Amino acid sequence: MYYVNRKGIESRLDCIPDLAEAAGKLAADWRGTPLEGLAQERVLHLALEIVTDVGSYLIDGFMMRDASSYEDIVDIIAGEGVIPPERAEALRRLVSLRKPLVQEYDSWPRGQLHPLAAEMPELLTGFASDVRNYLREELDPWEAR
């Protein structure tokens, strides 16, 4: 039997509706103000942290191979069938933003709407749905025993 931290996964996935809503509003009403730029940075940062945290919980809980990078976390969960390939590509682009957002924030183009911003609502809600479906398929039959 696997030990999968469902509570940790769910608490992170539960943050997605707020992030998706904020990303949608930012993309729809973008004017490039400093406040919008900072809000966008935080939405992107929290989104990528959710993806990597949840991915790490899945990798650890299902004893998948160890990840060598943030992008590899996405590759592993895609390879294991948690997320479909088309979503994996967008999530790879998202997690690749970690270094620029965390280490190169002084050169981040704050006045520009990032291309992923408009995709975020669908991308994040789809990710949450994929993860919950995977957990249901993989764990519920075992937990019923």
Active site residues: 98
Tens of each residue's pLDDT in the chain, 145 residues: 578 999 999 999 999 999 999 999 999 999 999 999 999 999 999 999 999 999 999 999 999 989 999 999 999 999 999 999 999 999 999 999 999 999 999 999 999 999 999 999 999 999 999 999 999 999 876 554 4
Query: What pLDDT was estimated at residue 1?
Result: 54
Residue 27 lies in a domain: yes
Total domains in the chain come to: 1
Q: What is the pLDDT of residue 140?
A: 76
- For 22, the domain range is 6-143
Residue 53 in domain: yes
Q: Is 1 a member of any domain?
A: no
- Long-range pairs, 78-84, Cβ under 8 A, ≥24: 81/134, 82/58, 82/130, 82/131, 82/134, 83/127, 83/130, 83/131, 84/130
The 3-class secondary structure across 21-74, one letter per residue, is HHHHHHHHCCCCCHHHHHHHHHHHHHHHHHHHHHHHHHHHHCCCCCCCCHHHHH
What's the CATH code of the domain at 31? 1.20.120.580
Other CB atoms closer than 10 Å to residue 110's CB: what's the count? 15
